[in-house]
Chain A
Amino acid sequence: MSKLTGLCDAIQAIPDRASLGLGGNTLNRAPMAAVMELARQKKQGLRLIKTAGGMDVDLLCLAGCVATVDAGFVSCETRYGLCRHYRKAVESGAVMANEHACYTVISALRAASYGIPFMPVRGLQITDLVAVNDYFAPVADPFTGETLYAVRALRPMVSILHAHVADEAGNALIEGPLYDDILLSRASETVIVTAERIVGPDYFTNREIKANIPHFLVSAVVHAPRGAWPNACYQAYGVGDEAVRSFLALTTADQLPQWLERRL
């Protein structure tokens, strides 16, 4: 059964207010083509989940698509600096930043992937993050009584991951640094894969290296060459400097549609 769809149709299937896991890390291999399409379709109330977000989170905040961001870190790193649109959206109260330690996002996704409601973690002993967030709570080890901190499970309704190779059935291979993409694929209710290259049904059968995302977890496959750009994609392309700079220079949401047009 072919799951190959156009980008527009794949994104249309995501409802407003969906919890949405995004692959990649900061300016590395976020599914930017899909992120830009979410902005074009003016999604509302998305609840973003990611260990370390960058331009993806910032763009969706500028587009007014976001209700909450569960992340440990949101920045475009040192050359480009802070995510100003995210920052402004949080400071104005339009977006709620649910700050995690990156590991607590991982732990919350692990809990979802294990089918359990929470995950105990070490750390978080001395932090104001526990007092101000309802997704952290002290929990006693039932065997020793030791206090640990529980992190509530995060189960994204859908995750969008950008892969190097996928077949029409949904088997997908991400090469190089995997970041949290594989975990997201296991923790989410379903996965949309955008891929640099679509291959035939026997591609993985005849190779030593198998897909690291199996078809049955995937609901849609989109052929999206340069689908992470202007993020970097392992061994395919680097960060698009002009595109990142011109995006970060936008000051108001009404400038975004024109910027998006130029990316098509």
Chain B
Amino acid sequence: MMRACDIMAVCMARLIRDGETVFHGVSSPLPMVATLLAKAHHAPHAVHLNIPGGVDPHAPRLSDITSAGEELWHGAQAAFPLQEVFDLSMRGGLDVAFLSGVQFDRMGGVNASVIGSYAKPKVRLPGGAGSAVLIPTAKRAIIWRTKHDVRTFPPQLDFLTARGNVSDIITPLCVFSMFEGELILRSIHPTSSIQEVAASTGFPIRYLSLVTTPPPTDREMRLLEDIDPADVRNIEFR
């Protein structure tokens, strides 16, 4: 059976190109695994940047408790902590930032802040972390979200935490990409269908052609097992 966490990790890894600088933050198990997978699979010179600041941590023993812990420091050769990763993005040197949120609109806007009013919200969300500065300044902000329903993709956001250079949104059902300022359906995972994606999205789905996400290859799955034997990539689905 094809698991959502595997197809999502693979889709995210495939978006990373060789030589790119790539950052993920806290609460980011899937981006952490995807970055390591890209480096092992097709992008050996991608640069893995993270909050503790270990550049390109070698074979870290991944933790399901944190994606900002000491395992990303051990086995690194250089120190480049969060403050400097942000500085890098501000001066135009960050290629990819992985971010998430709770609501996303048709124009690639992200809400990670509140449902309801800001001062006295109905639901206080964890907050956008670096989103409000990284989404406009990183060359590509890649969003992942392990839920895909009409509340996740509403016609209108409750609050706009950030808009900017969102390039792709990966969900358990599909991959959206930005095209001429709008999200379009780039590919549907083999486990889903256009009907399911349309019924689970609160705005009309547009696409250039109907494409099925290529399933994870044997090599991708083998590498995933090597990188993440403890199945940290699945924790958001547990």
Footprint of B on A, CB under 8 Å? 25-28, 51-52, 71-75, 77-80, 82-83, 86-87, 90-91, 93, 96-97, 99-104, 106, 121-129, 132, 176-180, 183, 232, 234-235, 238-239
Contacts and interface: CB of A to CB of B under 8 A. Distances in A.
Contacts, number: 171
Interface in B90-143: 90, 113, 118-124, 126-137
**Interface residues of B toward A: which range?**
35 or more
B161 A90 contact: no
A124 B134 CA distance: 9
A102 B90 contact: no
A177 B53 contact: yes
Nearest to B27: A77
A72 B129 contact: yes
Contacts of B162: 126-127
Interface stretch (B14-22, B78-86, B177-185): B78-86
A101 B66 contact: no
A132 B113 CA distance: 12
A180 B68 contact: no
Given A126-B160, A126-B163, A77 B113 contact: no
A83 B121 contact: no
Interface of B: 25-27, 29, 51-54, 64-70, 73, 81-83, 86, 89-90, 113, 118-124, 126-137, 159-164, 235-236
B113 A99 contact: yes
Nearest to A96: B119
Contacts of B54: 177
Contact of B129 (A90, A102, A125): A102
A93 B120 contact: yes
Contact of B128 (A91, A99, A126): A99
Contacts of B133: 101, 103-104, 121-124
Contacts of A25: 26, 51-52, 68, 82
B126 A82 contact: yes
A78 B160 CA distance: 23
